Structure 1
Amino acid sequence: MHKRVYKQFNETLYSETLTNGLRVNILPKKGFHKTYSTFSTNFGSIDRTFIPLGQSDYVTQPAGIAHFLEHKMFDKKGYDAFDLFGKYGADANAFTSFTKTSYLFSATQNIHENLDILLNFVQEPYFTKESVAKEKGIIGQEIQMYDDDPDWKLYMGILGNLYPHHPVHLDIAGTVASIAEITVDDLYTAYQTFYHPANMDLFVVGNIDPEETLTWIKENQAKKSFMTFEEPKVKLGTRETGNEDITKQKIVEMAVNRPKSVIGLKGLDVVPIGVAGLSYRLKANLLLYLLFGESSEQYLKLYDQGIIDDTFSYEFDMERSFHYISFSGDTDKPTEFIEAIRTILQQADQLLPQLESQFELAKKEMLGRLLQRMDSIEAIANSYEGRQFGYTTVFDQTAIYENMTLSDLTLLAPKLFNLDGFSTFQIQPMKGQKA
């Protein structure tokens, strides 16, 4: 096993890529009672147009296929994986994002057995027409619930403005109409293309012995055979970059008491991958915190003016093939809100040189938050992004923060705050409804 030692934190990460291509990461945490493990595939909701394994032509599957597949993986012939985890004292779950699907468990006992359950149920697909039909009704209700949520409508609305030709604008769960089209064959096609061990990684963290744990995993994988791996070929849209197709403004009405506004800023620069990509993300987050955090002068000024309130938030999302910033909140002054955010972004190069002392304090706060996450086995495993950030972990972020300068943020600001990618989406109370 390869050992990556973090002396500063007295931590050692053990990693090995198995003969079948599965990358295994093991982080022993002495003194912890619980063990937590994630088993993830590089397959998310945006990966719906691809060349199936062994074929030569692209197919486009219904929106929501990755999320639907995640749900169906727990249903096996003769048993339910959730029930099996429960029998061995583990809590299990799964989630699908735009770019990956993860299965996980946490347990204080029977770690060997629970690891086997995790590996086995994810690597043994079983789908039937009857179970797929039943799942459509369950997921359909989930989708309808989100359709009636104004905050979700706001979120998906700005993605639709920014990325009309990229599948990120489609709900991760799909629509009631799209999931109705999903077939058993679709599920097997997606599974066979993306769920190969070489397209996946396993992260185990807790009170475990790394050598023993790796032996368990190798024994499990040695019992299975897999087809020759082919790197999935995915098509994300006819126009994946640029600003020419951005919808600059959209206003809809819903049954809300107050107007809701979101500003989106599409990333138009090419972001790096590997450690440089992680550095880009951390710098962007710190830059936004300096300008829009609750202790910033800009935030306090907008708050005192009644332009924003406690509902205000900002987010920087950077994943495979896209990145964007959003600012959102309930506001009775949507026009002032939009113009105020735009002005701060335009003046960032003038504001930043005045924030040297705030920058040093912000760095310390970010490092403090990072140290807190290092005490959470869930945070350690869930923050692992695999190949996108060069297989770095939460422990690698400290050095990036420590070496970061205010000049780094000043150089990043004009790239990140390119107003050619600016868009707004508003939800107004329905006509006749008192705001």
Structure 2
Amino acid sequence: MKKIFYPSINETLYTGILDNGLEVTLLPKPDFHKTYGLFTTNYGSIDNEFIPLGHDSFTKVPDGIAHFLEHKLFEKEDEDVFQKFGRQGASSNAFTSFTRTSYLFSSTDNMLKNIQTLIDFVQDPYFTEESVNKEKGIIGQEIQMYQDDPNWRLYFGILNNLYPKHPLHIDIAGTEESISHITAEDLYLCYNTFYHPSNMNIFIVGKMDPEQLMQFIIDNQNQKEFVKAQPIERRFPVENAKDIIKEDQINLSVSRPKAIVGLKGLDDVPEDGFERLKYQTTLQLLLQLLFGDTSESYLNMYNEGLIDDSFSFEFTLDRSFHFADFSTDTNEPERFANQMINLILKSKDSPELTERNLNLAKRKMMGKHLKSLDSLEYIANQFSGAKFGDTTLFDLAEIIDSIELDDLLAAQEAFVRPEGLSRFFIYPK
């Protein structure tokens, strides 16, 4: 077990990779009574074309299967896992993203029992055709609910423009048509490939003895047999900037139009984990300087009535993609989109990009980050998303501190390309 001390935040992380490949990370928090556990597989909604474990050729599975599998793992032959956690004084949940699926619990008592339940239920799949078919109706209702959400449709509208060939543009839950084709055999195929311990990590934060807990997890894994790991081969469509759909729109039952501008990253993101997290943080700072609520651009658009309090922006970076999006409710969607695109393209010359503004933004980001580390729930939920190789959420303070104005300018030059821009509108019916 490796012990890593982070002096800037006074935290000590304990990590180890078990014989079966499972990565374990422990964060002792002696002053807290609560414990959070997170068991994550490096498998999400975009991983629908791959070579299954023990096979030698690619297969394509129905869209939405990673999310479907997440639902089904909670259901066992003789019990409901949610109820079991409840009897042990814990609450449990799970979520599927584009690239990960995580199962989690939180509790103030029975820590070891709940950790054992978390590990054991995820490592003990039970799928039957009958239960799979029953679940299709439940997930179908969930898909329909998201289809009725205008903000969800706006987000996936711009993703469809930016990534028309990539599975990123497909709803994480799939479509009612795609999930109708899922079988128990499909679920086992995906499970056996992506839920191997070598493709997973477990993170525990709370009051603990890390040596004792690490041994507890090792003993649990030593009681189980796993086939030998093999590298997972995924396949994604070849993309080209020319594939980007420049503009699209739909009509929904909304009271005001909605607009979103997207910028697809066409540059190469660093492979090194530390540099990768630094790139992400640099772009987040850049966008905050350019479009944060104290920026001249924001105030001008707000005062002109082009945007309101619904305006938001985000930079997303993950395993095989990165993009920024800017959205708002507005009575002048096209004018908003034109102005945003103009501001983005001219951002290198923005008067906001000064040492003083950067230092203010860094202090604000650092303060928010350090305050967030007082929340075990925040740490647990953010840990897997901010993990790039050996670089974690706990390296962020050092990264924020290291970013200079030249880093922002270099990131802007690499990321902002006119051919990567797109816009999408929702108009009232």
Specify the TM-score bucket, using the shorter chain as the normaliser. over 0.9
Identify the residue that residue 250 of structure 1 maps to in structure 2.
248
One-letter amino acid of the structure 1 residue matched with residue 334 of structure 2:
T
Q: Using the alignment, how far apart are the partners of 2:306 and 2:196 within structure 1?
A: 50
**Are 2:113 and 1:113 aligned?**
yes
Q: Using the alignment, how far apart are the partners of 2:345 and 2:137 within structure 1?
A: 48
Identify the residue that residue 303 of structure 1 maps to in structure 2.
302
Identify the residue that residue 376 of structure 2 maps to in structure 1.
377
Q: Give the C-alpha shift of residue 91 in structure 1.
A: 0.5
Identify the residue that residue 393 of structure 2 maps to in structure 1.
394
Q: How does 1:258-407 map to 2 (within 5 A)?
A: 258-273=256-271, 274-351=273-350, 354-385=353-384, 389-407=388-406
In the superposition, relative to structure 1, how do residues 42 and 125 fare at CA in structure 2: closer, same or farther (>3 Å)?
same
Q: SS in structure 1 opposite 2:383? A: coil
Identify the residue that residue 155 of structure 2 maps to in structure 1.
155
Q: Give the C-alpha shift of residue 384 in structure 1.
A: 2.2
Q: Is the 8 A contact 1:38 1:102 kept in 2?
A: yes
One-letter amino acid of the structure 1 residue matched with residue 138 of structure 2:
I
In the superposition, relative to structure 1, how do residues 352 and 283 fare at CA in structure 2: closer, same or farther (>3 Å)?
farther
Q: Where do 4+ consecutive residues of structure 1 move more than 3 Å?
A: 385-388
In the superposition, relative to structure 1, how do residues 265 and 400 fare at CA in structure 2: closer, same or farther (>3 Å)?
same
Deviates more, 1:296-305 or 1:345-354: 345-354
Listed one character per residue, the Cα deviations across residues 153-192 of structure 1 (whole Å, up to 9, x for unaligned) are: 1111110011011000110000011111000000000000
Q: Is the 8 A contact 1:373 1:380 kept in 2?
A: yes
**Are 2:163 and 1:172 aligned?**
no
Identify the residue that residue 85 of structure 2 maps to in structure 1.
85
Q: Is the 8 A contact 2:295 2:352 kept in 1?
A: no
Q: SS in structure 1 opposite 2:214? A: helix
Q: Give the C-alpha shift of residue 388 in structure 1.
A: 5.7
**Are 2:50 and 1:50 aligned?**
yes
Listed one character per residue, the Cα deviations across residues 370-397 of structure 1 (whole Å, up to 9, x for unaligned) are: 1011111122222223896123222200
Q: SS in structure 2 opposite 1:93? A: strand
Q: Is the 8 A contact 1:380 1:393 kept in 2?
A: no
One-letter amino acid of the structure 1 residue matched with residue 254 of structure 2:
V
Q: Using the alignment, how far apart are the partners of 1:137 and 1:251 within structure 2?
A: 29
Listed one character per residue, the Cα deviations across residues 74-112 of structure 1 (whole Å, up to 9, x for unaligned) are: 001101111111111011000000000000000111011
One-letter amino acid of the structure 2 residue matched with residue 24 of structure 1:
V
Q: Using the alignment, how far apart are the partners of 1:7 and 1:313 within structure 2?
A: 34
Q: How does 1:58-207 map to 2 (within 5 A)?
A: 58-207=58-207
Q: Give the C-alpha shift of residue 63 in structure 1.
A: 0.3
Q: Is the 8 A contact 2:311 2:327 kept in 1?
A: yes
Q: Give the C-alpha shift of residue 38 in structure 1.
A: 0.3
Q: Is the 8 A contact 1:206 1:377 kept in 2?
A: yes
Q: Is the 8 A contact 1:276 1:389 kept in 2?
A: no
Q: Give the C-alpha shift of residue 359 in structure 1.
A: 1.2
Q: Using the alignment, how far apart are the partners of 1:68 and 1:423 within structure 2?
A: 31
Identify the residue that residue 27 of structure 1 maps to in structure 2.
27
Q: Is the 8 A contact 1:384 1:391 kept in 2?
A: no
One-letter amino acid of the structure 2 residue matched with residue 226 of structure 1:
F
Q: Using the alignment, how far apart are the partners of 2:390 and 2:46 within structure 1?
A: 21
**Are 2:16 and 1:16 aligned?**
yes
Listed one character per residue, the Cα deviations across residues 192-213 of structure 1 (whole Å, up to 9, x for unaligned) are: 0000000000000001110111
Q: Using the alignment, how far apart are the partners of 2:11 and 2:413 within structure 1?
A: 37
How much is the aligned-residue C-alpha RMSD, in angstroms?
Answer: 1.2
Q: Is the 8 A contact 1:352 1:410 kept in 2?
A: no
Q: Give the C-alpha shift of residue 275 in structure 1.
A: 1.0
Q: Give the C-alpha shift of residue 124 in structure 1.
A: 0.5
TM-score norm. by structure 2 comes to: 0.98
Q: Using the alignment, how far apart are the partners of 1:353 and 1:427 within structure 2?
A: 31
Q: Give the C-alpha shift of residue 354 in structure 1.
A: 4.9
In the superposition, relative to structure 1, how do residues 353 and 387 fare at CA in structure 2: closer, same or farther (>3 Å)?
closer
Q: Using the alignment, how far apart are the partners of 2:307 and 2:7 within structure 1?
A: 44
The gaps in structure 1 that reach 5 residues or longer are: 431-435
Q: Is the 8 A contact 1:28 1:209 kept in 2?
A: yes
In the superposition, relative to structure 1, how do residues 367 and 84 fare at CA in structure 2: closer, same or farther (>3 Å)?
same
The gaps in structure 2 that reach 5 residues or longer are: none
Q: Using the alignment, how far apart are the partners of 2:107 and 2:286 within structure 1?
A: 38
Q: Give the C-alpha shift of residue 7 in structure 1.
A: 2.3
Q: Is the 8 A contact 1:201 1:386 kept in 2?
A: no
One-letter amino acid of the structure 2 residue matched with residue 17 of structure 1:
I
Q: Using the alignment, how far apart are the partners of 1:135 and 1:372 within structure 2?
A: 40
